[in-house]
Amino acid sequence: MNEQRTRQHLETEELERVAMQEGTLPAPRREHLDGCARCRRELASLEELHVALSGLPYHAPSPGFADAVMSRVDLAKPWYVQLLTRNWTPVAGVSAGALALAAIGFWTWLFTRGGVALESVLSVAAEWARTALWDLVVGAGRILVDTGIGPTAVEAAQSLTPGAAAAILAVLAVLGTLASVTVFKLMELPVPALGSARRS
Amino acid sequence: MDYEAQTDEELAQLCEGGDERAARELVSRFERPLFSLIRRTVRDQELAEDLAQEAFVRAFNHLDSFDPSYQFSSWLFKIGHNLAIDHVRKKGLDTVSIEGAPDAVSQERQEATSITLEARGERPDEVAEARALGDEIEEAIGELRPEYRTAVMLRHIEGHSYREIAEIMDTPLGTVKTYIHRARGELQDRLAHLRPEGSEA
Ligand SMILES: [Zn+2]
């Protein structure tokens, strides 16, 4: 048996194993290779070809390749990731519509049942609005100071063309006027005393 | 997580859970091998880029049909090979490719060769010589039948086993062996003139 294996020439797979360094030959086969000029010649030729082919450099796709792939990939995400990344616009639209309908319904019900005075409800709302508005103004100011957006805004303003600056000032003026009018209107409404919201 | 330390198959499973960074890692591992395989099959830079992109997209979007007991690379190459060979068959490029290798000495390939070699610190004349040799080999590969070309590249450049190549090419094992045997024979004939005089005892 071993005698037979020592005499036979090497199979292609055996030659490949040696040429491509994928493993070793059993002793009898190794012995044959060492003593057989024909097998050694075949091995040398295969090694040569393998070195030439495996040494070829890869072709490279263009630099934006990975981004192009990723922009077209839609990986199946787990439910919590889907929840965060899905498009909420339609849901938000429907919810806002439903809320508006509910609010209109509530107000209609309030005024048609006659139990509550319109002014008292409005004054509660006005009080909330005043507090929220004040918090908003103070908070925004603090953010501007803390983050250094103030100075950045000044720099940005300096790079504006006179026309653009005038346009922005005009928009700010209109917005400011509207805001002031709203605040003053809210101030005119009476602050409610709890419990007085019912018509006597 | 250290994505670079993960195996291809682990990354594929992370992708299936929606992990985009795992997908990017797989792209960075296989963009060159896959692109090279396809480019050498279709022999057109732009087309190869489109097909390689398509292969990655199909692989990632159909991860549910990937069996993790297989190699990810085999699966990806199978998708890429199918796309490329479909294209070659549709265009009847099998016959055209025999006429010559118009892109074998293309600019970007020469650059790729020189970058690799210069990075290894070789002398300019050695670089030029290796580049010329690379072009000769590239041209010889280009003259093979597409099936031979794919099989011999998967064996010698990618180091896949015969079984894996049979899987990738969806071809019986015996046929793959024949392809590779013939491809090597043709390549050895075409490259014989590169051998130094007298070395062929
Ligand atoms: Zn022998």
Q: How many domains does chain B have?
A: 1
A with B: how many residue pairs have Cβ under 8 Å apart?
A: 116
Across the interface, whether the CB atoms of B157 and A56 are under 8 A apart is answered yes
Q: How far is the CA of A11 from the centre of ligand 1 (A)?
A: 9
Q: Given this model, what pLDDT does residue A114 score?
A: 62
Confidence of residue B134 (pLDDT cuts 50, 70, 90): confident
Ligand 1 mean position, distance from CA A21 (Å): 19
pLDDT digits (tens, 9 = 90+) for A169-187: 889 889 988 888 887 777 7
pLDDT at residue number B70: 85
What is the ipTM, given to two decimal places?
A: 0.78
Question: Residue B25 and residue B6: Cα distance in Å, rounded?
Answer: 9
Is the pLDDT at B102 greater than 80, yes or no?
no
In this prediction, residue A129 carries a pLDDT of 84
Torsion of CA B9, B13, B16, B19, to 10 degrees: -100
Has residue B102 been placed in a domain? no
* Owning domain of residue B34: 3-97+143-194
The reply to whether B23 falls in a domain is yes
Query: DSSP of B127-159, one letter per residue?
Result: HHHHHHHHHHHHHHHHTS-HHHHHHHHHHHTS-
Pick B148 or B95 by higher pLDDT.
Answer: B148
Does residue B104 fall inside a structural domain?
A: no
Question: Model confidence at A85, in pLDDT bands (50, 70, 90)?
Answer: low
B86: domain CATH number is 1.20.140.160
For the cut 70, the answer to whether the pLDDT of residue A40 exceeds it is: yes
Q: How far apart are the C-alpha atoms of B34 and B79, rounded to whole Å?
A: 10
